[in-house]
């Protein structure tokens, strides 16, 4: 595994790999890698000749009330995870390398951001889209891998790739879960013991709604109520949102059909958990 910190250096390395006919898989992260990231790296390793991992805590996607300086960092741990996943290149640039001067051009995301978590983080996805545009141009990957845990981010990146004509295939990867179904997250360690014991009920509620939709329930409000009642009955978490949209467009649905996402966020004492399910509901043509 080669560790590089200069954009022009990794650009040159990838150019040589491509000249030799190698396919490039890319996993963008902000570091502090966990099992979810490892699953992305594993899939990228399986499907590509060369795998590139980037670790960069991007200041552009932090809002004024979000502490960029306190974001967890552990590069030694991250290097070990990358080595275990047999990564070819780890690109770990400084802020000065990525933004040597004041940014003169930024990407503005027009759609898919005013719902779910994006509603409370104005400008966040502009920062994500801007840094990914830079990384896509630096690395020039054939495939890029994202976890469906953050399905809204996947939807935004899907739009970025399509609208800017990047010759890149986006590869969504299923959420990694604990044995009881709870989506794995670094935030889970902040759950109180009794909260952790019932946190899997979030995913159970999502699955109840998915099954109802697949068996003919097409009213989004009824699906939301089904999940809401389940969470209120079986957890002490405070519901932030439960929403149903088309996917990846993230448009409201009068009736549940086509590609659908049901997503939620629930606040526990010191941890806010998010989760979602995406699925296809076949239209009834009879």
- Give dist(CA 113, CA 263) in Å, integer: 14
- Give dist(CA 25, CA 23) in Å, integer: 7
Residue 107 near residue 160 (C-beta atoms within 8 A): yes
- Give dist(CA 21, CA 102) in Å, integer: 36
Q: Dihedral, CA atoms, 126, 127, 131, 134, nearest 10 degrees?
A: 40
The reply to whether 13 sits in an annotated binding site is no
pLDDT of residue 185: 85
Q: Which residues contact 144 (CB under 8 A, 6 or more apart)?
A: 25, 26, 27, 28, 136, 157, 161, 168, 169, 170, 171
Residue 25 near residue 142 (C-beta atoms within 8 A): yes
The reply to whether 153 sits in an annotated binding site is yes
The reply to whether 184 sits in an annotated binding site is yes
The reply to whether 105 sits in an annotated binding site is no
Residues assigned a catalytic role: 37
The reply to whether 251 sits in an annotated binding site is no
Tokens representing 56? 């960069």
Closest CA to 145 of 28, 247, 52: 28
For 181-199, the pLDDT digits (tens) are 999 887 888 899 999 999 9
Kindly report the backbone phi and psi dihedral angles of residue 114, in degrees, each rounded to the nearest multiple of 5, phi listed first. -95, 20
- Give dist(CA 114, CA 112) in Å, integer: 6
Q: What mean pLDDT, rounded, does the chain reach?
A: 95
Cis peptide before 153 (omega within 30 of 0): no
- Give dist(CA 195, CA 269) in Å, integer: 8
The reply to whether 187 sits in an annotated binding site is yes
Q: Which residues contact 15 (CB under 8 A, 6 or more apart)?
A: 140
The strand pair at 89-91 and 50-55 is best described as: parallel
pLDDT of residue 286: 41
Q: Which residues contact 61 (CB under 8 A, 6 or more apart)?
A: 123, 124, 125, 126, 127, 128, 131
pLDDT of residue 63: 86
Domain boundary assignment for the chain? 2-173, 186-278
CATH topology of domain 186-278: 3.30.1300
Closest CA to 152 of 112, 191, 110, 185: 112
Those residues of the chain that have pLDDT short of 70 are 284-286
pLDDT of residue 205: 98
Kindly report the backbone phi and psi dihedral angles of residue 28, in degrees, each rounded to the nearest multiple of 5, phi listed first. -85, 135
- Give dist(CA 113, CA 277) in Å, integer: 18
- Tracing tokens 């509603």 back to the chain, one arrives at 119
pLDDT of residue 187: 83
Using CB atoms within 10 Å of the CB of residue 263, give its burial: 0 to 12 exposed, 13 to 18 middle, 19+ buried. Answer: buried
The reply to whether 200 sits in an annotated binding site is no
pLDDT of residue 284: 62
Q: Which of helix, strand or coil describes residue 90? A: strand
Task: Give the DSSP H or E segment for 17.
Answer: helix 7-19
On the question of a common fold for 2-173 and 186-278, the answer reads no
CATH number of 2-173: 3.40.50.620
């Amino acid at each position: 595994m080669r560790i590089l910190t200069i954009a022009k250096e990794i650009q040159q390395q990838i150019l040589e790999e491509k000249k030799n006919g190698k396919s490039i898989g890319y996993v963008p992260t902000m570091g502090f890698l966990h099992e979810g990231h490892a699953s992305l790296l594993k899939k990228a390793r399986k499907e590509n000749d060369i795998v590139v991992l980037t670790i960069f805590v991007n200041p552009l996607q932090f809002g004024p009330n979000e502490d960029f300086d306190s974001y967890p960092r552990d590069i030694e741990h991250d290097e070990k995870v990358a080595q275990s996943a047999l990564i070819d290149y780890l690109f770990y640039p400084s802020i000065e390398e990525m933004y040597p001067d004041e940014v003169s051009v930024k990407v503005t995301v027009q759609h898919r951001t005013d719902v779910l978590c994006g509603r409370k983080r104005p400008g966040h996805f502009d920062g994500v889209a801007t840094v990914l545009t830079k990384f896509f141009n630096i690395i020039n990957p054939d495939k890029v891998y994202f976890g469906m845990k953050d399905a809204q981010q996947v939807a935004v990146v899907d739009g970025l790739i399509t609208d800017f004509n990047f010759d890149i295939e986006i590869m969504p990867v299923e959420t990694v879960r604990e044995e009881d179904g709870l989506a794995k997250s670094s935030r889970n360690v902040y759950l109180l013991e009794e909260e952790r014991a019932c946190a899997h009920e979030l995913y159970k509620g999502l699955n109840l709604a998915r099954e109802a939709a697949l068996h003919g329930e097409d009213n989004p409000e009824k699906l939301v109520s089904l999940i809401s009642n389940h969470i209120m009955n079986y957890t002490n978490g405070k519901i932030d949102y439960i929403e149903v949209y088309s996917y990846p467009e993230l448009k409201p649905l009068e009736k549940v059909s086509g590609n659908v996402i049901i997503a939620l966020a629930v606040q526990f004492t010191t941890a806010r958990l998010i989760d979602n399910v995406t699925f296809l509901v076949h239209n009834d043509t009879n």
